[in-house]
Amino acid sequence: MLETIVHESTAEHTGTVIWMHGLGADGHDFESLVPMMDSPHTRFVFPHAPIRPVTINGGMRMRSWYDIRNLVSGPYNDRESLE
């Protein structure tokens, strides 16, 4: 299970937003936007990607949803990690 930050709705819950961060970041990156959204009926979920080696960054271990092998779109990137 992924580590996750959850901001529960402050009124009757009618929807959930799952907000995924970018490469090397974590779930805290967009957490400060919750008050600005003015959405009391919405639960906000900010998961942290796993820490893994990222090929385009010289194999450096960082938070990433999948291994980025190159910047060309197509079957070259790590689609297996997304399943």
pLDDT tens digits, 53-75:
999 999 999 999 989 888 876 66
Q: How many CA atoms lie within 13 A of 62 on its CB side?
A: 16
Q: Please tell me whether residues 6 and 45 are part of one structural domain.
A: yes
Q: Please tell me whether residues 28 and 38 are part of one structural domain.
A: yes
Q: Please tell me whether residues 4 and 43 are part of one structural domain.
A: yes
Q: Would you state the pLDDT for residue 41?
A: 98
Q: Please tell me whether residues 18 and 39 are part of one structural domain.
A: yes
Q: Please tell me whether residues 15 and 31 are part of one structural domain.
A: yes
Separation of alpha carbons 26 and 60, rounded Å = 16
| pLDDT top residue among 50 and 76 | 50
**What average pLDDT does the chain have?**
91
Percent of the chain with pLDDT over 90: 76
Q: Would you state the pLDDT for residue 1?
A: 83
Q: Please tell me whether residues 82 and 55 are part of one structural domain.
A: yes
Res. 77: pLDDT tops 90: no
Domain of residue 45 covers: 1-49
Domains of the chain: total: 2
